[in-house]
Structure 1
């Protein structure tokens, strides 16, 4: 017998599973609060050189014009000042109707040697204003996002491997505690170096949420309800995106903002008392008695009349099946490439995850050109993700995971491509296309988690997700740096985001379909299906269910 039959006896979707989804909603909400936090944390308000005797406001009065040069677009420079403003005409001596004349030759300019003055109208404090990460240092401001996602990348590898070896629930506790401690340390940073290090380590801790939560939910669900539960669970991410807009609006100081998004980890630690370990994983590791305990708890909460003796016999029978897969070696990333079909899945999933992350974070972190303030843009970007979940739910049920993954990535590509053809003066069209691109990229992200979790066997599911998440976070870490390409050509960042998304869309079509398929338990379950034609891939999962 298979685990699906055993799960059917104790209830594959009921109060037990709903409670599990509710308990695991918190890490889903916390992830966007941290992943998209640089929108507010690293915001760069209007600024200019600190000048003795300068007016308190940022109005372009004649005094500032005598001390600050103008940029090509006509605005006063944020990074330079005149070396000898006294050589310029004395603005207080101009007569009515007169204008200052340029002295002979071009006035020499120098960098801001006495720091900067910032406009605190929108933000009372950000890391850019805290450590003057502007002008020549603006690369360090962008780099904080790259450091964070580099930490997520490393954490994905560690948590993927360790959760397959030591269990999902235990490593989720490690992720919660680490995120809480490191988040508090980040908020208390006394230097940029300390902030960069603690923020990178926080990313490593949060990686545990990204690759543990979805499998821990799916491994307790039957085939029929996997899609609806997966999409429902992902709506908590969208809720977190919109919540970030509200929290960022209410808290304008970066330290208090970071503290506000970190403290919810404390009740999350307490909630793990009620979160069950994956019975699938326990059986593949030979922990029959513990799996038996959780299955009985599931049956009771779901109101299923299951006898302990009969359930024990079936659990032992299932354990004999899984025993053939267990070897002396622990799960390894090399196992993902040892057999032909797993190698096929792993390589293509890596490309898809890179494209999904690169385009999603490229769109999400660039909110400066939409003609709205940062809070309105963030709220709109979060709101558009909700209908994208409905799109995913309908599409994966009717067209399958593979076509949905490719289609959503193609939609992202088209939105970015058409956006390049629209004049910058037509703000409404640019905003609409950016919002559409954000919706499609979120739909691609939702599908990627569901699709990848179904492709890998239970014994390597976390390891597989760890690998693909590693490559995905590499894409996420490069996205903020790709935005700096606008210095070479203004349209180059969007071309990069769209081109990578298109490559990922084409690659997704090479993956096998998993619609209505039972979750594979062992490597042999995956390899029994020789890489089939696209028609056979659609038919085989249906035959498994009928049998």
Structure 2
């Protein structure tokens, strides 16, 4: 008897025990989302100008002496920071940010802290020719996350899910508190990379613990619930940051609640599936007996004896998988024409969806409106978008959802360039909401679509490469949002994001098949030989080229 069959026939696919465990392990995802995007508010843009003689960065921004040495721009605001007519004598006009009136660059600055008590941007002068530091620090998080994905993926199978989770939580708490007191920007970047490193261990590993006790029909719902927790984390982050404008205290507020997860050592249990795989039946039985008691059911005595046949089969399968004939590599993804075409397309889709998703999250005011309000509403709009994907994914298919998501995102972004500056602000907000909801739906859909495009022999390899390449998109978004767009204008973000999204939709329509309701391919030969779609067969004859030799 297989472990799944024994487990769900006696314990149930979603009993009280599974529900409690899953809710508990989903909570860390909320804080992972907050840490991931906290730099948006800890380094929030603060109006600044060059410092004149005897001034410090904490001197009054609106100083009469400053107007003698620094040019005043045509952007004028009232006491509530609303644009007003420059001819109004009560208007306060912004100073030139980086140069004196003689066009010489400055090395010290004065910041207007009337709206933000303290920003990392102001503390370390991350402005003007040092603006690249802002992008570098955020990209450090994603570099750490990339390394963490590979590390915790291996450790989770070697030392167990629960231990990995606690290592990640401890690292996240330590780095979170150090970020609040880091004296230099480079030390801050280092511990931020450590926070990113902990992300996969704190979120992915914890969800694995919960989902490995769920029945197959609930696992898709589990992935949606995880994404909903991430969206909820964004909403909480935006709300807290709106009222807590000192970046050091903001880090403390985001990190301190994670201390409660220490109690998880007694509240959550190790994955019984992992314990069975290493033949620790005594510990697995102890956990499953608790689960059975909570669910009001009973398990057979010495149930592990029923798995002996399966264990032998699994050992045999693992032995066969290690044989040279079954050792697939990443190069196999590019050997044959159909699989090569699919691989190249999805290797483009993943960094694009990651870049646009994180870009719109980090720069939620790029289309107009208030940064904090847009950020919160953007997180809220993700929730119905995710539920819509859950309801439609197995009804209308993968391709319509993903193509529609990419296309809607691209159209909304590019159309924003055509809107006049005097247009009502709600138009830009609606465009942002449509873009955020569409790209969130796309991100969720692509997780279901991509594994169905690869054969079993290279599916894990393909998904691993997609996940790694997606980090490249997030890193690129950091530089585009926090450096290029700030320096050259929003068009430098909107045009590449919108154009690449539309191109992604076109590539899917031309090169990728619908996979809903079709059996998962097992081998590369099955993909190459079983393509019955006439259009795909014609494309094969047009695009087929000699396979590269890697032997």
Which TM-score band applies after superposition, normalised by the shorter structure? 0.7 to 0.9
Per the alignment, in what secondary structure is the counterpart of residue 78 of structure 1?
Answer: coil
The correspondence for 2:353, drawn from 349, 356, 365, is 356
What is the match of residue 543 of structure 1? Answer: none
Structure 1 contact 355–501 (Cα < 8 Å) conserved = yes
Is 1:495 matched up with 2:495?
A: yes
| Match in the other structure for 1:80 | 99
Q: Deviation at 1:403?
A: 4.4
2:410 aligned residue:
413
Gap change, CA 1:527 and 1:389, over 3 Å in 2: same
Q: Does structure 1 residue 137 correspond to structure 2 residue 130?
A: yes
Tell me if the contact between 1:280 and 1:458 (Cα under 8 Å) persists in the aligned partners. no
Q: Which structure 2 residues correspond to residues 333-348 of structure 1 after superposition, within 5 A?
A: 337=330
- Distance across 2 between alignment mates of 1:40 and 1:64: 28
Report which stretch shifted further, 204-213 or 8-17: 204-213
Classify 1:413/1:3 alpha carbon distance in 2 versus 1 (closer, same or farther; 3 Å): farther
Aligned-pair Cα RMSD in Å: 3.8
| From 442, 445, 458, the counterpart of 2:443 | 445
User: 1:443/1:8 Cα in 2 relative to 1: closer, same or farther (>3 Å)?
Assistant: same
Alpha-carbon distance between aligned partners in 1 of 2:500 and 2:158, rounded to the nearest angstrom: 34
* Alignment match, 2:106: 112
* Alpha-carbon distance in structure 1 between the residues aligned to 2:218 and 2:190: 41
Asked whether 1:68 is paired with 2:61, we answer no
Q: Partners of 1:254 and 1:436 in 2: how far apart?
A: 30
1:312 maps to 304
Give the drift of 1:466.
5.3
Helix, strand or coil: the match of 2:268? coil
1:541 alignment counterpart: none
User: Is residue 28 of structure 1 aligned with residue 26 of structure 2?
Assistant: no
Native 8 Å contact 1:160 1:465 kept in 2: no
Deviation at 1:248, TM superposition (A): 0.8
Say yes or no: does 1:474 pair with 2:472: yes
Change (3 A) 1:247 1:459: farther
Distance change in 2, residues 1:265/1:79 (3 Å): same
Match of 1:199 among 182, 192, 195: 192
Cα deviation 1:159-188 (Å, max 9, x = unaligned): 223223333222122211111112222222
Instruction: Indicate how the Cα distance of structure 1 residues 182 and 380 shifts in structure 2: closer, same or farther if over 3 A, else same.
Output: same
Give the aligned partner of residue 367 of structure 1: 364
Q: Is the 8 A contact 1:188 1:255 kept in 2?
A: yes
| Alignment CA distance shift 1:233-1:171 (3 Å) | same
TM-score of the superposed pair, with normalisation by structure 1: 0.80
- Cα deviation code 1:330-387 (max 9, x no counterpart): 99xx856386699878766544332221110111111334543332122211211121
Structure-to-structure mapping, 1:372-521, within 5 angstroms = 372-401=369-398, 403-426=400-423, 427-449=425-447, 467-483=465-481, 484-486=483-485, 487=487, 490-505=490-505, 510=512, 513=515
The Cα of 1:437 is off from its aligned counterpart by 0.5
Please report how far the alpha carbon of residue 469 of structure 1 lies from its aligned counterpart in structure 2 after TM superposition: 3.0
Q: Secondary structure at the match of 2:393?
A: helix
Contact 2:99 2:106 in 1 (8 A): yes
Taking a change above 3 Å as real, the CA distance of residues 121 and 461 of structure 1, as seen in their structure-2 partners, is: farther
385-394 or 155-164, which deviates more: 155-164
The change in CA–CA distance for 1:514 and 1:272 in structure 2 (over 3 A counts) is farther
Q: CA deviation at 1:475?
A: 1.0
- For structure 1, the residue ranges without an aligned partner over 5 or more in a row are 83-107, 536-547
Which consecutive unaligned segments of at least 5 residues does structure 2 have? Answer: 76-92, 534-551
The 3 A distance-change label for structure 1 pair 530 and 36 is same
Give the whole-Å Cα distance in 2 for the aligned partners of 1:267 and 1:44: 32
* Contact in 2 for aligned 1:292/1:315 (Cα 8 Å): no
CA 453–29 in structure 1, closer or farther in 2 if over 3 Å, else same: farther
Give the whole-Å Cα distance in 2 for the aligned partners of 1:44 and 1:139: 13
Instruction: Report the CA distance shift for 1:529/1:289 in structure 2 as closer, same or farther (over 3 A).
Output: farther
Distance of aligned partners of 1:52 and 1:339 in 2 relative to their CA distance in 1, 3 Å threshold: closer
Distance 1:506 1:275, change over 3 A: farther
Aligned equivalent of 1:146, options 118, 139, 157: 139
Contact 1:187 1:255 in 2 (8 A): yes
**Distance in 1 of aligned mates of 2:518 and 2:2:** 15
Question: Cα deviations across residues 426-472 of structure 1 (Å, max 9, x unaligned)?
Answer: 23222211111011122223334556688899999988765433222
Q: Is the contact between residue 43 and residue 126 of structure 1 (CA under 8 Å) also seen in structure 2?
A: yes
Equivalent-residue separation in structure 2 for 1:533 and 1:4 (angstroms):
33
1:285, distance to aligned residue in structure 2 (A)? 4.5
Tell me which moved more, 268-277 or 463-472.
463-472
TM-score by length of 2: 0.79
Work out whether residues 341 and 530 of structure 1, in 8 Å CA contact, stay in contact via their aligned partners in 2: no
Match of 1:538 in 2: none
Report the equivalent of 1:256. Answer: 249
